[in-house]
Amino acid sequence: MKTVRIGRDPANDIVVAQPGVSARHAELCWDGKAVWLRDLDSTNGTYVNGRRIGEATRITASDRVTLGNTTALDVAAALAAAKGEGKRRTIRIGRATDNDMIINNSRVSAHHAVLEYKGAWMLCDLDSTNGTYVDGVKISAATRLRRGALVRFGATGPTYPFPDTFGVEYDDASAMLSGATGAGDKTRAPDTHAASGHTAIMPIASSRIELFRRPQVWAGLIVVIAMCMMFTYTGKWFAYNAYIYLFGLLSCAAVLWFIYRLCGKRHPWWYIVVPAAFTAFATVPALIVITGFIGTAADIDKVGFVQRLLEQTFITGLSEEFVKILPVLVLLLLTRLNVGLYHGLRIIEPLDSILVASSSAIMFVVLETIFGYCNPEQVHTDAQAWKLLQLLIPRIFASVGGHVAWSGCFGYFIGLGVLQPRRFWLFFFIGYGSAAFCHGLWNAVAPLGLILVGGFSFLLYMAAIARARAISRSQLRQTVYGRIR
């Protein structure tokens, strides 16, 4: 029985990126005689001729199918996809002779990428050596191609315009929809007068450049605004607190950008901001509780190394690592409950949990430094402000070998547990114990020992990210390339 899945997630056979459509919304089953439509417990339901279906329903070309309340499906095209009819659906690209599109270039891998039609033309890199680029941006997940997109194989490899040189007929998700109103699915004809008109004189007025969809623009804009605000506060005693908070958040954003780029998986900006905000509300009361527990421990300078290590691991390490990992656990719960409102905020692989845990940890570091080690309300002079900044700057940037590294490794093990549910708790406690131990070791060693612990923690963190990226590519390869074979 042939099955075709429909939904918002790029891994589906028919991708419908519209509001009201769930990540995995419905599926079509072809048994050789008829096509059956089944709803996959979607949030807004699937309707046939105005009636919401609760079980597999046979459909024909005369039926009217709606995903959610407003998104109508082109039934004829969907039936053709279910039966395997219609246009060519996959094109394998690479240097090897068994590909559909053979590129004889040293920058191109043997099996470099695959172009697959799933309601829109989606391009996936097959873990190639030199990567695949669309309009100059390296892709790490299935990427939808629009008319005129420039596809480059390797950073300095050959470039091909889509769809002219790929031997396919251009079509996008709007071909599968008859009632969609999303502007993101509309295709513009090539503009033969792009060098003329008012948008050439005022490029910011042009919608074609999609200015605010570029993450570099947002990053640069945030830096400029923050620096301008900090400049206005310079030398004003009443604004020290605002200056410190702004610098802390800007440094926090810089570390998160570094981690986001390392992970290499595309996520919306709020995927990073929401966990940090969650931790911001949970950290301050948690610090009060943790400080109360630590206050009962022996004086760290008057006990031996082993006792210090045990106290810092089981008191400080376990408590603080649990606080930092809370956003991951909450999102994991929402993912397992399949809460429709939070489809974008989900944990499905190690890269997701690493990024969420890292975001939570960097916010924890900022708030712990400001409220745990210093009191910004008592900062009234340049000397006091500089003393706080001297502590804040190294703590934030050293966190990639400290708090962020430990939480990131913990998140990596939780992500492994997501992929292997039967061993979830084993991975959870391995990650929890490792993070707490490294945390306790950091607090227990002499100042010079911090260099060794920090360096070792950073290497563990980088190894976890590299391994998570390999797992992510392997999962994508099995999903996409396995269906081609």
Q: Which helix (H) or strand (E) holds 29?
A: strand 26-30
Contact 29, 3 (CB under 8 A): yes
Cβ–Cβ under 8 Å, residues 468 and 412: yes
Spatial contact of 13 and 4, defined as CB atoms under 8 Å apart: yes
pTM of the predicted model as reported, rounded to 2 decimal places? 0.55
* C-beta of residue 153 within 8 angstroms of C-beta of residue 113: yes
The residue written with tokens 């029985």 in the block is 1
Judging by beta carbons within 10 Å of its beta carbon (0-12, 13-18, 19+), is residue 294 exposed, middle or buried? middle
pLDDT in tens, 197-208: 444 555 555 444
* One pLDDT digit (tens) per residue for the chain, 485 residues: 678 888 887 677 777 777 788 888 999 888 878 888 999 888 889 999 888 898 888 998 888 898 987 788 878 778 877 776 655 567 888 888 777 777 888 889 989 999 887 767 889 999 898 899 988 888 888 888 887 788 889 887 888 888 766 756 655 443 344 333 333 333 333 343 444 444 455 555 544 445 555 556 666 776 677 667 666 655 554 455 666 677 777 787 888 888 888 887 777 777 788 888 888 887 656 665 555 544 444 455 566 788 888 888 888 889 889 989 999 998 888 877 765 444 456 788 898 899 999 999 988 888 887 776 666 566 566 666 667 777 777 888 888 888 999 999 999 999 999 888 899 999 999 999 999 999 999 888 877 788 899 899 999 999 999 898 888 766 554 443 344 34
